Amino acid sequence: MSASPQLALNLLQYLELEKIGLGAFSPLDGFMDEAQFTAVVETMRLPSGAVFTLPVLLDVDTEVAAQLKTSSEVDLTYDGELVGRLFPRDFFGCDRAPVARAIFGTDDMGHPGVAHFFSLQPVFVGGRVELIKRAEVGIWHDKLTPEDARTRFAELGWKRIVGFQTRNVPHRAHEYLQRIALEWSDGLFIQPLIGQRRNGDFTPEAVLKGYGALVGDFLPADRVVLGTLSTFMRFAGPREAVFHAIIRRNYGCTHFIVGRDHAGVGNWYGKYDAHALAHQFEGDLGIEVLRLSGPYYCETCDGVATEKTCAHYGTDVAKEINGSDMRRILVDGEAPDPRLMRPEVVAALRGVPLFVGD
């Protein structure tokens, strides 16, 4: 019998442990202690000076915290199985409203990231972790680790690798950005985020089926690596865009695409707020952020374009392509305009549960 106390993780905590253990959140080697947390919230850097824009926290209730305080080592379990170890360094709490304002730009509970942050238990445990067992939660099991991805890129001889974050079935605006990347890089790493989602989001199955129809049949398979990233959306807009870039750096990408309203939700952030923050850290991230405009379909140009490539931005002929509209159309069982989403992608979704909570 183990002498160490046990802490049962929920799925989100387990996925965080796994990302830390795999190096996806490097240079973090554990859940944040108070010094790291405070530095990240206030300066978007770790005490070492490394840019890191979002907290990575292990939350517990006060009773559990009291039990763990006397231990130098804690067994972390998920679903009754030993999945990792924690070496607690400190226990702390925070005043949530000012922290939420710093991270999300608001403390309004109508913001899903804020609501999640407030729902965390009162005590945060900081300390180094060891991953013993990877998460295997159905399709969420993303096999490609940061090390695997780096090895794959090296085998392919790629030097300039562009990372692409998404949580949607691919439409023509995504494809436009991906082709820009493919045009001047050695290869593209498309890594949909498939962690726990909100009702109404696309299921991981739908996103992966959609990409299955795009890569190979439209985008050249030998120039695209498709992976997945099982972590949850924090909806922290600009801070999360930089966080996403840091993660893709750890997977071996040299460049990362940040488009319009990256990691945004509702109207909480400006269209290009994430570009501004990424620009602030330029040269300091170990990865270059490609700040790209949001593509739309232009009837006059007869193709997908952006405000930088077409003279008709903001006019009636510029038809917005956005994920929310696509979702609505697919919910109604209709076929989206083929100029906005490829029929082959739509066909690949047949029989697949499309939305979380359906």
Q: Which residues are catalytic?
A: 166-168
Residues touching Zn ion, count (CB under 5 A): 5
Residues between 279 and 318 that touch Zn ion (CB under 5 A): 298, 300-301, 310, 312
By the 10 Å C-beta count (0-12 exposed, 13-18 middle, 19+ buried), 38 is classed as middle
Considering the complex, state which of residue 125 and residue 310 has its C-beta at the smaller distance from Zn ion: 310
What Cα–Cα distance (Å) separates residue 143 from each residue in 58, 86, 135, 140? 24, 23, 10, 9
Considering the complex, state which of residue 26 and residue 309 has its C-beta at the smaller distance from Zn ion: 309
By the 10 Å C-beta count (0-12 exposed, 13-18 middle, 19+ buried), 318 is classed as buried
Minimum CB separation of residue 319 from Zn ion in Å reads 10
CA distance 278 to 286: 12
Minimum CB separation of residue 306 from Zn ion in Å reads 10
Cα-based angle 334, 212, 206 (whole degrees, multiple of 5): 45
Residues between 246 and 275 that touch Zn ion (CB under 5 A): none
Q: Nearest-CA neighbor of 161 among 177, 145, 149, 147? A: 149
CA distance 68 to 88: 8
Considering the complex, state which of residue 41 and residue 318 has its C-beta at the smaller distance from Zn ion: 318
Considering the complex, state which of residue 78 and residue 296 has its C-beta at the smaller distance from Zn ion: 296
Minimum CB separation of residue 294 from Zn ion in Å reads 14
Alpha helices, DSSP H, located in 146-224: 146-156, 172-184, 204-214
Minimum CB separation of residue 314 from Zn ion in Å reads 11
135 lines the binding site for Zn ion (CB under 5 A): no
Which residue carries 């607690």 as its tokens? 88
44 within 8 A of 239, measured Cβ to Cβ: yes
Q: Nearest-CA neighbor of 209 among 68, 348, 341, 69? A: 348
241 within 8 A of 270, measured Cβ to Cβ: no
By the 10 Å C-beta count (0-12 exposed, 13-18 middle, 19+ buried), 8 is classed as middle
Considering the complex, state which of residue 23 and residue 295 has its C-beta at the smaller distance from Zn ion: 295
CA pseudo-torsion sign 287, 50, 37, 279 = negative
Minimum CB separation of residue 175 from Zn ion in Å reads 17
Considering the complex, state which of residue 129 and residue 298 has its C-beta at the smaller distance from Zn ion: 298
Minimum CB separation of residue 172 from Zn ion in Å reads 14
Q: Which residues bind Zn ion (CB under 5 A)?
A: 298, 300-301, 310, 312
